[in-house]
Chains A and B, each alone.
Chain A
């Protein structure tokens, strides 16, 4: 645990980062290590290629979308600050009974986690997962042996299930509802080796 002190000096505005994201210092340092590990050409910035080199993303049907989520405004590079800001979504939720409703919603709240996931599906950012968007995802996730008709019916069925207001698309609210019983807090968290 003592080795990270060497990185501390390298991270700019550590306090600011900690403040903004809620990570602890140790976590920031560890993430910084990871950041540097990903940064192949030591530019202090990550490019899309750096992400594509990650095996988990390469085989993931949604990998490209996840990478896109890291480059929000058409940027081609990503510095550590933005990197950690996005990862802050995945900060493990700490059991905290005393935090009253007065405190602002933390960056890693369930709602924000969900929003991150939602954006992976909502490609045109209109706040709704449309039928086409679902269809594309399915195409990516399933093998070729499923026919388009079947895909169509799956899509319809999914929408029918989740769509509560009958507009033929899944809004964030409906998305949240349908995943109500999923243990997102656990699933969408970086598990720091403790």
Chain B
């Protein structure tokens, strides 16, 4: 443990190559002295030399870095190396005296080594290109030197090892050369500075003083600029860090205060995070469900929660700006006809059966459109209620659209970001899934469940990936399934159409049977009950991944439900048309009556007007309220159906299966009825269509949104309970896609579809003459014009007039279309680029894996080359190939070391022979391999040595 790692690598390398050429060891050991002398003699000149030299010096740290890189990887060999380490200690002892100088250089270099691989490589390549001869030469020499230098350092490090171990502080002490200083000040981290003892304080204080002194006299030192700068920065940082802690009086107090505040702040931040998490509503419930039923079921509940949030905002808008002002400031109930229950309805107006159908007092309340008065301003604040009503109606749609689209965009962003870690999916799950902070057995159970679920999800995904079967059969089946489903859809569509057609003929009949009255509903209910399971059965043919299958299922059911919607809207529009016609006659009648009143009132006294009670006043059918009523009734019945079906279909069934199982002839739990699975597609679609109803109905029934809030709230608790209590997880638990974007897109579609009829009615139908905030106007949107006219200065009206000019609107639309086209094209490009990159990464990884798996088969050519070339060549080649090949990076130290050794030998020859490497490197750097041969004869026996690196390989 206590051995310095930096040394171990070198030893590691040494031991590896030593096995091959033992005879060289002694030479090596002696070499360094000469080498160092050489180097030392060069030093002064170097300092005064030009840029090139300084850049050469830069390469040294880099090389060192390369050689030192493997410590982490070589960790396993630590113990063995230590022994070797020992054996070489005595040899390096003699050099201990000269350590100090090298040590400082190492220090400096260590900074440089922070830089990452690529930049190193770049730098190195550049340098070799720039000055091939010199740097190559130098590289070799450096290699020789470095080895020896490291041996030097080793000695010192052993003395300092205790300090070193402590990281930062130890390092600092190295610098001070306070060897053997007991490392009592173990505070490696700034966070524990306050636990220093007196003695340590004194010591640190001393250091601070020294650093300060150093800074002061820095100018006079004969160091190179780079080193000066580094030193200066280092000292300054140190002084700044410790001065406060050690200063007397104010400084110290301030420092203590600062430390305390930091700690408080950190604690506060953590608490706040916890608080934030606990503030997310139902988070715990959903997590629990997720752990047992998988993320797909949880995604439904998350969607539900999200919808609840949106509805809360809509509720706030509607009630805050429309309902409450009307209740508080508008005319009281019973003052005018529209706010009064008609005489003939009054006896039954409080009956529960009537209220249940939203008749009676419910119908003539602020929950529905008809109750609102067309008075332009109400109350003391002169609140523009009709305007506010209109704006809230439109604003709800605007807000919903904005939120849905924004959420979709954000989800898309997120899903783009975290698509990378598919590489070690199972390993991660295996090694890191347990949360070691769990101490509660119940939580632990949940965690077990969630780990199991996540593994199951991965298995399903994995199965999908590895599925390879007869592609033609598969295609055929898919086409067949789609055809069948299309037939089903077409059939049910025709059925709906037929039933609707038929029901219109019933309108002429006077007497209707119960069946005839409810034919549409019955047909729709039957379709909704039997077609989805049919779809599911057919979809089994396709054999999609369940996640994709769910999407298809949702689309198909969506199409089916659209039929439902279609019939409903059709019936509604019929009703509205009838009521509009009805209204005409009533209007005429009322006008005639009013006229007669006017006549009488002008003739006689004005006292005759109040004789008519508002309840007796003739009134039109008020189709807006009728529409709102329909939507409200539908929503309520939908809620009831959903809840009852959960109660019966899930709960009663579960109870039955659970308890009758004891006395039944077959296994109910695993046999036929079994427990239900949570029906994601049905529930999601139910939710989405319900939301569509709300969007459509809110304009004509402001109270609807309140009902929906209650519905979502109760259904959250109710369904959570039902799921945990009576459902079993699906047989194929699958992972929901990271974002709920699919649900969102369905929701967006529904939102659009529900926007259409509302806008259509607003734009085309004339509002009722005697009810609602827009009564008396030709069209509802006239309220805007009225406001512009009365409340705004004249020029704004003009501006609106210009803006509404088709000449402006058309170019605007054109511009938008163009912008959309452009943005779409850009995003497509990015998408492809992204895909490309992902593919590239994947390929790189696979390549790496392959190389490891069948090293022997993949690069026989490389090996041949290695055999042919002398060790120098290997050294350089591997350096050059570093960036492309990680494997080489790992084995490189061995290689370089081999080269070092080889060159150490050269060094000896060099004394006799002219400096050979220089001739080698005067050649252009490009054809490196080809430039090798000249070196070959000189490198002595080429046979064994080039093999040096080779034995190192299999070991890893």
Contact = CB atoms under 8 A, between A and B. Distances in A.
Interface of A: 1, 15, 18-19, 22-27, 54-56, 58-62, 92, 94, 96-107, 110-111, 115, 117, 121, 127, 134, 137-138, 141-143, 145-146, 150, 153-154, 157-158, 161-162, 164-166, 170, 172-173, 175-176, 178-179, 181-182, 187, 192-194
B148 to A, nearest CB: 16
Contact of A101 (B113, B170, B421): B113
A158 B455 CA distance: 11
Given A55-B441, A62-B434, A106-B167, 20 more contacts: A22-B166, A26-B194, A56-B436, A59-B438, A59-B440, A59-B443, A60-B434, A96-B168, A100-B107, A100-B111, A137-B430, A138-B430, A153-B462, A154-B426, A154-B455, A162-B424, A162-B427, A166-B853, A176-B72, A193-B267
B168 A99 contact: yes
Interface stretch (B2-10, B537-545, B660-668, B916-924): B2-10
A25 B195 contact: yes
B186 A24 contact: yes
A184 B182 CA distance: 31
A13 to B, nearest CB: 12
A96 B427 contact: no
B722 interface: no
Given A1-B194, A22-B166, A142 B428 contact: no
A72 B174 CA distance: 34
B191 A194 contact: yes
7 contacts: A15-B182, A99-B170, A143-B449, A146-B455, A162-B424, A164-B848, A178-B428
B167 A94 contact: yes
A157 B76 contact: no
Interface in B601-637: none
A25 B113 contact: no
A18 B110 CA distance: 26
B905 interface: no
B427 A179 contact: yes
Interface in B359-392: none
B137 interface: no
Contact of B448 (A26, A62, A143): A143
A61 B191 CA distance: 34
B428 A101 contact: no
Contacts, number: 214
B192 A24 contact: yes
B444 interface: yes
Contact of A179 (B164, B184, B267, B431): B431
Interface of B: 1-6, 65, 68, 71-73, 75-76, 106-107, 109-111, 113-114, 153, 157, 161-162, 164-168, 170-172, 174, 182-184, 186-192, 194-195, 197, 234, 262-263, 266-267, 421, 423-428, 430-434, 436-441, 443-444, 448-449, 451-452, 455-456, 458-459, 462, 848-849, 852-853, 956
Contacts of B434: 60-62, 141
Closest 7 CB pairs of A and B: A100-B110, A24-B192, A59-B444, A55-B439, A103-B164, A18-B186, A94-B189
A192 to B, nearest CB: 8
A64 B672 CA distance: 42
A146 B431 contact: no
Contact of B167 (A55, A96, A145, A194): A96
A127 B77 CA distance: 12
Contact of A19 (B183, B234, B448, B956): B183
A179 B428 CA distance: 7
B431 A178 contact: yes
A104 B165 contact: yes
Nearest to B150: A102
A96 B172 CA distance: 11
Given A100-B171, A164-B853, A55 B440 contact: yes
A173 B2 CA distance: 21
